[in-house]
Amino acid sequence: MTELTADKISHAARLSVAPMMDWTDRHCRYLHRLLSRETLLYTEMVTSPALVRGGALHLLAFNPEEHPVALQLGGSDPTELAQAAKLGAEAGYDEINLNVGCPSDRVQSGTFGAVLMKSPDLVADCIKAMQDAVDVEITVKCRIGVDDQTPEIVLPDFLTKVSAVGCNRFTIHARKAWLQGLSPKENRDIPPLDYDLVRRMKQEFPDLHLSVNGGIASLSQAKAFLADGLDGVMIGRAAYHQPADILCAADPEIFGTGSFSDPVQVVLQMLPYIEAHLRDGGKLSQVTRHMLGLFAGRPGARQWRRILSERAHRPDAGPELVEDALAQVQCDA
């Protein structure tokens, strides 16, 4: 069962790191947790068919230190999603999130992700089935619309129908998704952001917990959205590429608790984790690839990145390589 109450998870959602395919794996999340004790972390999207039909339960593995941590599921079959949610709850996740935002061709072919913005009744059925299967809170991450939909009409209708079954927490990526003609990468940049629409949704649905996502690159931006009345802010690429800039100050500035974390100390805290990973047969680069941006914009950052990028993949690479890279940072500080 989950260790944290729904109220605590909702509080953690004041700031969250977005689920990002190939990026927010368990090693990334462990690093981010050392940088911030409070921020809500999300897995990469895991598809319900992979869990239920494929038996890929290894995709649910995470370190207990990662709490509060949410599992994001992709799927569109209510029965299968309910089974997947049950597996996620049994694994100990604090929240189960349904992906209604990913625009990739592969996701569309499975009739899930952003294409589900066209089927709010089906999304409601999926959420209800998941809620009936588990006690963990079920949430949704969505877009403001897709293709030729009018967001001002589609989004409030979507929120109305999905919240009617008891879903109270939504993260809204403030862009449309174009399912034809744009790649997933282009869908993160080209469709214009409409933050005002998300703000209006909070005014229209004051009882819902609404977080905004998309193009947010600093804590100062996040604080401005919270000051505007939104309940949470989800940050994606900036939190991955400049994790210290986003997460080191998150606890005192967003949550009013704790103190600023020090990326140098976090590297030292990562060494025992790396040693354990290597003992289990893992490779150094599987962990250090998520650490490359840790000193972005700071003295020694180039040397840090170069040493890890060029040498971490070698068969004999170990924690001492990370210590060597860190020494370069400290020399230039």
Query: Alpha-carbon distance 155 to 157, whole Å?
Result: 5
Helix intervals (H) in the chain: 6-12, 26-35, 48-52, 78-91, 105-109, 120-133, 151-163, 184-187, 195-204, 219-227, 237-241, 243-247, 250-254, 263-279, 284-288, 301-311, 319-332
Name the residue with tokens 């927010």. 24
| 2: amino acid identity, one letter | T
- DSSP annotation of 146 reads B
Amino acid identity of residue 235, one-letter, is: I
Q: Which two tokens stand for residue 294?
A: 């840790």
Q: Is 331 a catalytic residue?
A: no
Q: Is 175 helix (H, G, I), strand (E, B) or coil?
A: coil
Q: Reduce the DSSP state of residue 83 to 3 states and report it.
A: helix
- Residue pair 126/84 in contact by the 8 Å Cβ criterion: no
DSSP secondary structure letter of residue 118: G
Secondary-structure breakdown of the chain: helix, strand, coil percentages, each rounded to the nearest 5: 50, 15, 35
Handedness of CA 87, 212, 253, 262 (dihedral sign): positive
Catalytic, out of 102, 126, 142, 167: 102
CA dist., res. 215 & res. 204, Å (int): 23
Query: Any idea what DSSP says for residue 61?
Result: -
Active site residues: 102
